Every structure is written in structure tokens, then in C-alpha cells.
A and B are shown apart, each in its own frame.
Chain A
């Protein structure tokens, strides 16, 4: 059997990265929206990706941001996007982010399940898989 290379948990890394960076700008940063959504919520989802080569895993992350009004939600999303870009060349917890690509910029994307406005964007983190 050849070397087994496991993709890192980029969702967890991105959640911690954004939680630390956003601070009080978001009430909650998580991969799941609780039954009662907080006023300022950020959800991180792994929405795709691929193994580029033996040393690079490309993880596509979509970040949704809700707030009580459009300007607040937009502000959270634009700040979160800047934070996600700033991870390039940095260690997000145990995950080293080698490069960041933009897939889709910040856009207003109304959520049918809540009255709160939602802005979202999608990026790709290039990370290193781990050998086990």
C-alpha cells in the first residue's frame, strides 16, 4: 500500500480562524446553524475541492453570514472574506494554508428559511494533506 495522505479538517480550522478574527463582529461561527439563530451568525461549509497533487489538497469553503440588516451582514461577510484571504502563508490552527483563491465574491443571497439577510462568498484554501 502506498502512502496514505489524509485531507485536514479545513472546516474546523476555518471556523477557529474566523472566530478569532471576527471577535465580537459575529455572535457565533460554526458549521451548523442552531435552532435559534443568533443575531450575527457565520456558517462555514466545505462545498467541494480536489486533490491537486500529492502535496496539495484544495478545499472549497463557502462562508454564509447573517445579521439583522443588510449593512451588518455585508460587513461581516466582507471582513470574513478578508480574513480568509489573510490565511495565505499562515497556520490556521494545525492546518497550514499555502494559498487562497477566490471562487465567488461577496454576494447578497437571500435565505428562504429566515427573514435575516444573508451574504456569502466562496474561497479555496490550498492545504497540505497529512500522512498517516
Chain B
């Protein structure tokens, strides 16, 4: 019985990082977190620039108006919805 050999497939990783399925999954998590945070919180997903992990899709949730900024400063709202990002 021969020894099994493991071979990395970097191109496969690159394809997953840029796949519509991965972006869609991230968009779902970001939207759920923004909705849970409440009005004035917005989610965004952008594709990173560069090769390797630099090129992965990046999801963010942020405050988009003064009321949300104040709410987050007072209640730590973004920290409380962090779990929804699967972080």
C-alpha cells in the first residue's frame, strides 16, 4: 500500500475566495447583522484587491448616520451583533 500524498491547490483557494457563493454567504451574514443592529446600520461586501488572502471578499457593518453613531457609542450595538457575522 503506497503512501498517500497531499497536494495543495492554490488556484482552488483563489477560486473559492472569489466565488459568487462565498460573496453571497457573506452578504447574508452582513445583512443579518445590519438588520439586527437596527436603523442607520449598513452592511457592505467588497472584493479585496490582490492575490492570495488579499483578494478575499470582505464584509463590513457600519454606522451610516449620526443617530446610529450615537447609538453604537452608547450601547455597543456593533459588538452585540458580532456573533451574527460568524466572527
CB-CB contacts below 8 Å: B60-87 with A:
70, 73-74, 76, 79-83, 87
Chain A interfacial positions (CB closer than 8 Å to B): 45, 47-50, 60, 62, 64, 103-104, 109-113, 120, 122
Extra contacts besides A50-B83, A64-B76, A103-B87 (11): CB < 8 Å: A47-B76, A47-B80, A47-B82, A48-B80, A48-B81, A60-B79, A112-B73, A113-B74, A120-B76, A122-B79, A122-B82
Chain B interfacial positions (CB closer than 8 Å to A): 70, 73-74, 76, 79-83, 87
The DSSP consensus for interface residues of chain B is helix
Contact of B74 among A48, A50, A112 (CB under 8 A): A112
Cβ of B82 and Cβ of A103 under 8 Å apart? yes
Kindly state the separation between the CA atoms of A4 and B87 in the bound complex, as whole angstroms.
27
Listed A/B pairs (26) with beta-carbon separation below 8 Å: A47-B76, A47-B80, A47-B82, A48-B79, A48-B80, A48-B81, A48-B82, A49-B83, A50-B83, A60-B82, A60-B83, A62-B76, A62-B79, A64-B76, A103-B79, A103-B82, A103-B87, A104-B79, A109-B73, A110-B73, A112-B70, A112-B73, A112-B74, A120-B76, A122-B79, A122-B82
